[in-house]
């Protein structure tokens, strides 16, 4: 991307009170799209995710990954001076993010009605676990609880009960992505109407539409149908399941389509397993009486090759029998390197550190090179000067421990 190219959100100011996930990842994406994101953190401790493990020299890997391209000001909202600064800052905001539990923002004087009264153009995005109202709104928005309530973790209890803790924070990232979509839509709407809006977004509601497959049978029943057979994407389908290689490593098999299944049968010289008249409905089924036969053939194939042999054969044939990699192996993949999915940045305090690249960089929609995550409060003087405060004011704020 040319350094002279204007980014989509250039000129948009976002005041970010969010912490942990999903707010910081969302505002980082908006920053990468060109927005000026001012991260407001409590003094001394800052965003708690600064202290997650593992860490670099000072701050966590996690914090550096989801807070790049931002500026930081430490602000004690419990002090009169802190609220004075906050008010001045919020008067300039196009977008406000917060991830407090319901009612906390109002207590701090940064809720939507308060800000909207003096800044009617503001777009205010609250991300909580279950929303600003409703029977579950008082529950903390931790990802495992969110996933547990969507039904996605409870859809195959006959296979494993209790289910494993998921390795991916689907609720957090769903909330972040929906908020970015919502904020961009709200900015487009404001360009037409001149008026902002409030986005009451829950992680639960963001993840819920993504659980279509586990919910589909119950949705069919709700409409008066049987809901059977259900889509078997949770281990019941032998052609969409996991196995072990000869050296005891996990393998993922994804041969749903008849064409892919036929390619596998030809590869292993087992065309007796291939039925050219297989119904399209069999794609996501358990394959009935053939299921155990298919499972045995796939288990034997995987068990007769090492993990590396299966990786090599997948690359050669394009058949999706894919070794399951560890995080280390993932970072070492040739594909990750060739697609520049991981890059490095020289951080002023952390040193040369890796980061996960925003895939939109090829389109020129985001900055080609990420800027480092800020140290706590490092941009306070610059931000306060931009807001019109004199140096004497800044000294007073420090004396009052508001910043």
Q: Which residue, 196, 288, 302, 192, is CA-closest to 247?
A: 302
pLDDT at 158: 86
User: Which pair of structure tokens corresponds to residue 283?
Assistant: 């794609």
pLDDT tens for each residue of 119-139:
999 999 999 999 999 999 999
Work out the number of other CB atoms within 10 angstroms of the CB of residue 29. Answer: 23
Residues of the chain with CATH 3.40.50.10540: 13-209+337-399
Instruction: Show contacts of 107-115: CB within 8 Å, 24+ apart.
Output: 108/77, 108/78, 109/77, 109/83, 110/17, 110/77, 110/86, 112/198, 115/90
User: Which pair of structure tokens corresponds to residue 393?
Assistant: 């004011």
pLDDT at 159: 82
pLDDT at 2: 46
Q: Give the integer Cα–Cα distance in Å for 40 and 52.
A: 18
Q: Which residue, 185, 236, 176, 242, is CA-closest to 210?
A: 176
β-strand pairing of 351-356 with 342-347: antiparallel
Kindly report the CATH number that applies to the domain delimited by 13-209+337-399.
3.40.50.10540
Residue 65's alpha-carbon distances to 5, 12, 47, 158, 369, in angstroms, are 24, 22, 13, 38, 13
Name the DSSP class of 55: B
Find where tokens 């839509």 sit.
185
Segments of 75-212 assigned E as strands = 95-98, 123-128, 197-202
pLDDT at 4: 59
pLDDT at 1: 43
Residue 194's alpha-carbon distances to 94, 183, 190, 200, in angstroms, are 11, 14, 5, 20
Residue ranges of the alpha helices (H) in 277-353? Answer: 290-303, 307-317, 327-331, 334-338
Q: Which residue, 208, 183, 180, is CA-closest to 198?
A: 183
| CB proximity list for 47: less than 8 A, separation 6 or greater | 19, 20, 24, 39, 41, 63, 67
Q: Give the integer Cα–Cα distance in Å for 295 and 175.
A: 37
Active site residue 247: no
User: Which pair of structure tokens corresponds to residue 12?
Assistant: 């948009």
**Tens-level pLDDT at each residue, the chain (403 residues):** 445 578 999 999 999 999 999 999 999 999 999 999 999 999 999 999 999 999 999 999 999 999 999 999 999 999 999 999 999 999 999 999 999 999 999 999 999 999 999 999 999 999 999 999 999 999 999 999 999 999 999 988 988 899 999 999 999 999 999 999 999 999 999 999 999 999 999 999 999 999 999 999 999 999 999 999 889 888 899 999 999 999 999 999 999 999 999 999 999 999 999 999 999 999 999 999 999 999 999 999 999 999 999 999 999 999 999 999 999 999 999 999 999 999 999 999 999 999 999 999 999 999 989 999 999 999 999 999 999 999 999 999 999 999 9
Q: Which of the following is catalytic: 36, 47, 94, 172?
A: 172
């Amino acid at each position: 991307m040319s350094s002279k190219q204007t980014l989509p959100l250039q000129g948009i100011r976002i005041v970010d009170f969010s912490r942990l996930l999903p707010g910081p990842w969302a505002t980082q994406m908006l920053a990468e799209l060109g927005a000026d994101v001012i991260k407001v953190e409590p003094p001394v401790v800052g965003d708690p995710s600064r202290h997650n493990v593992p860490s670099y020299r000072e701050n966590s890997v996690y914090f550096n990954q989801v807070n790049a391209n931002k500026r930081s000001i430490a602000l004690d909202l419990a002090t009169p001076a802190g609220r004075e600064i906050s008010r001045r800052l919020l008067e300039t905001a196009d977008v406000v993010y917060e991830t407090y539990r319901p009612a906390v923002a109002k207590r701090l004087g940064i809720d939507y009605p308060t800000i909207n009264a003096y800044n009617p153009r503001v777009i205010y995005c609250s991300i909580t676990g279950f929303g600003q109202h409703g029977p579950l709104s008082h529950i903390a928005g931790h990802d495992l609880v969110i996933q547990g309530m969507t039904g996605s973790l409870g859809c195959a209890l006959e296979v494993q009960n209790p289910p494993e803790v998921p390795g991916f924070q689907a609720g957090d990232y769903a909330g972040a992505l929906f908020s970015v979509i919502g904020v961009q839509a709200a900015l487009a709407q404001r360009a037409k109407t001149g008026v902002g809006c409030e986005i009451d977004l829950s992680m639960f509601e963001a993840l819920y539409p993504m659980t279509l497959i586990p919910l589909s049978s119950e949705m069919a029943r709700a409409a008066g149908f049987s809901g059977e057979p259900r889509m078997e994407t949770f281990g019941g389908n032998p052609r969409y399941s996991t196995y072990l290689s000869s050296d005891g490593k996990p393998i993922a098999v994804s041969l749903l389509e008849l064409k892919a299944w036929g390619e596998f049968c030809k590869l292993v010289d087992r065309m007796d397993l291939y039925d050219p008249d297989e119904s399209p409905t069999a794609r996501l089924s358990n394959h009935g009486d053939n299921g155990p036969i298919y499972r045995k053939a796939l288990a034997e194939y995987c068990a007769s090759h090492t993990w590396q042999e299966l990786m090599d054969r997948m690359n050669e044939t394009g058949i999706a029998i894919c070794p399951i990699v560890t995080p280390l192996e993932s970072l070492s993949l040739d594909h990750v390197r060739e697609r520049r999915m991981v890059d490095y940045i020289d951080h002023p305090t952390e040193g040369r550190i890796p980061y996960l690249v925003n895939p939109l960089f090829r389109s020129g929609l985001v900055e080609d090179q990420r800027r480092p995550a800020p140290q706590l409060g490092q941009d306070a003087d610059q931000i306060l000067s931009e807001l019109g405060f004199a140096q004497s004011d800044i000294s007073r704020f420090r004396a009052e421990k508001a910043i």
